[in-house]
Amino acid sequence: MVKFLKKLIYSTVFNFVLITVTLLCLLLLLPVSLLPSGTRNNFFNIIAKIWSGTLLKVSRTKLVVVGKENLPDGPPFIIAFNHLSNFDIYAMAKAIDPVFRAVMKKEIMLIPLFGIVLRLYDSFPIDRKNFQNAKKTLENVSRYFNRHPYIMAITGTRIRNKDFFKKKLKKGPVVTAIQHKIPILPVTLIGPDHVQPKGAVLIESGRTIEVIIHPPISTENYTLDDRNLLLNKLREIIGKPLIEKGEAEYVEE
């Protein structure tokens, strides 16, 4: 009972801070969006770091970043990762430079103010159930590849790491990277689903999230016929630390 009450208190405080800090950051970013692109992007990076750092600190989540030397000098590159929890974004926003933009499910972009600001800063909604619409969205995103890195989850929706090798991975990140001949940066996340699993309201404070940044993969010599080959390569790279740390067991496709 004491453990549950402690968890409830930490979660209540965290969710209050999450709403308050997010709202303040959005209200600040709204007028900043009118500034020249270079200036507003610098502001976005600073505010995103403050936002993510605050949320990690309040939740008492320790962040461990491995392989930061593998980060490209700048865009274009697509960040392919295993999507586990809302805490994925907080951890990666703090760990990765420059701060990425997102191609995210359209429902998130319908949140008042939140969706407006994300659009102003070059994030895009995608309708996963409508192939033609999704294809058009990715074509629009491609115009911004030289401005920002973009995150795309190869698992699609949030899962547990233990299910990583049991899920069919999404080809969108691979196909997009091959079509536009831009590198893919594989990132393995360990821990976000221990802090706040999919669907959970309460959080587990005092946990550790590890962000493992692997060397980028050039897509120059890949064609669309090689998309399954590249996807399997990503599966092996991202999945290897999960096996080594006992987060997942290898399952042959």
Question: Rounded to two decimals, what is the model's pTM?
Answer: 0.91
Q: Which helix (H) or strand (E) is 186 found in, with range?
A: strand 184-190
In a domain, 152, yes or no: yes
Tokens describing residue 126: 């995608």
45 Ramachandran zone, left/alpha/beta (phi>0; psi -120 to 50): alpha
For 55-101, how does the pLDDT look when each residue is reduced to its tens digit (9 = 90+)? 999 999 999 999 999 999 989 999 999 998 999 999 999 999 889 99
Number of other CB atoms surrounding residue 59 within 10 Å: 25
In a domain, 249, yes or no: no
For 211-239, how does the pLDDT look when each residue is reduced to its tens digit (9 = 90+)? 999 999 999 999 999 999 999 999 999 99
- The range of the structural domain enclosing residue 178 comes to 2-244
In a domain, 250, yes or no: no
Alpha helices in the chain (DSSP H): 2-32, 37-58, 87-95, 114-120, 131-141, 172-180, 192-195, 227-244
Amino acid identity, residue 241? Answer: P
Contact (CB, 8 A) for 150 and 101: yes
In a domain, 253, yes or no: no
Please report, for the domain that includes residue 186, its CATH number. Answer: 3.40.1130
Q: In the predicted model, is pLDDT for residue 251 greater than 70?
A: no
Classify residue 13 as exposed, middle or buried by CB count within 10 Å of its CB (0-12, 13-18, 19+). middle
Close Cβ partners of 6 (under 8 Å, ≥ 6 residues apart): none
Classify residue 102 as exposed, middle or buried by CB count within 10 Å of its CB (0-12, 13-18, 19+). buried
For 19-39, how does the pLDDT look when each residue is reduced to its tens digit (9 = 90+)? 999 999 999 999 999 999 889
Classify residue 112 as exposed, middle or buried by CB count within 10 Å of its CB (0-12, 13-18, 19+). exposed
In a domain, 52, yes or no: yes
Return the exposure string of 74-87: e unless at least 16 CB atoms fall within 10 Å of the residue's CB, then b.
ebbbbbbbbbbbbb
Classify residue 168 as exposed, middle or buried by CB count within 10 Å of its CB (0-12, 13-18, 19+). exposed
In a domain, 252, yes or no: no
Looking at the structure of the chain, the number of domains it has is 1
Number of other CB atoms surrounding residue 223 within 10 Å: 11
Tokens describing residue 97: 């430079």
For 145-185, how does the pLDDT look when each residue is reduced to its tens digit (9 = 90+)? 999 999 998 887 777 778 788 888 888 889 999 999 999 99
